[in-house]
Amino acid sequence: MRRLALMAAAVLAVAAAPSARAEPLDLDLSRLGAPDPDVWSTIGFRASSPLTPEQAVQYAKDARQRFAILSTDLALALSSAVLHPASTTGHTGFAVDLEVATMAVHPDPIGDSSVAALGFGNKPWANEGKAPSALYMPSVHVRKAFPWSLEFGGRLVYLTASNYFAAQGEGKWAINEGFDYIPDVAVRGAYTRLFGVKDLSLSATDLDFMISKRWGLMGVTSLTPYLVARFTYVSASTGRIEFAPSLGAPEETQGSFPGFSAGFYRTTLGVRFTAYSVALGLEGTYFGGAKMTAKHYEGVKIASSFGGAAKLGWEW
Residue 220 buriedness (CB in 10 A; 0-12 / 13-18 / 19+): exposed
- Residue 219: what pLDDT? 74
Helices (H) and strands (E) in the chain, counts: 4, 15
What's the pLDDT score for residue 12?
44
- Any idea what the Cα angle at residue 110 is, between residues 108 and 115, rounded to 5°? 120
Please spell the DSSP secondary structure of 259-305, one letter per residue: PEEEEEEEEEEEEEEEETTEEEEEEEEEE--EE--STT-TT-EE--E
pLDDT of residue 177: 86
Tell me what pLDDT residue 91 has: 59
Average pLDDT over residues 150-167: 97
Q: How far apart (Å, rounded) are the C-alpha atoms in residues 157 and 138? A: 6
User: What interhelical angle do 53-78 and 37-46 show, nearest 10?
Assistant: 120
Say how far apart CA 206 and CA 230 lie, in whole Å: 7
Average pLDDT rounded to a whole number, residues 196-225:
93
Nearest to 228 by CA among 82, 97, 77: 82
Query: How far is 260 from 243, CA to CA, in rounded Å?
Result: 19
Q: Tens digits of per-residue pLDDT, 223-242?
A: 999 999 999 999 999 999 99
Q: Is the pLDDT of residue 109 over 90?
A: yes
Alpha helix ranges (H) inside the chain: 2-16, 37-46, 53-78, 250-253
- What CA–CA distance (Å, rounded) separates 178 from 66? 46
The answer to whether the beta carbons of residues 274 and 46 sit under 8 Å apart is: no
Model pLDDT, residue 11: 40
Contacts of 52 (CB under 8 A, 6+ apart): none
DSSP secondary structure letter of residue 238: E
Nearest by Cα to 316 from 3, 143, 152, 89: 89
Which pLDDT score is estimated for 7? 39
- Report the mean per-residue pLDDT for the chain: 90
Q: Give 2-17+26-315's CATH code, choosing from 3.40.50, 1.10.3210, 3.60.90, 2.40.128.
A: 2.40.128
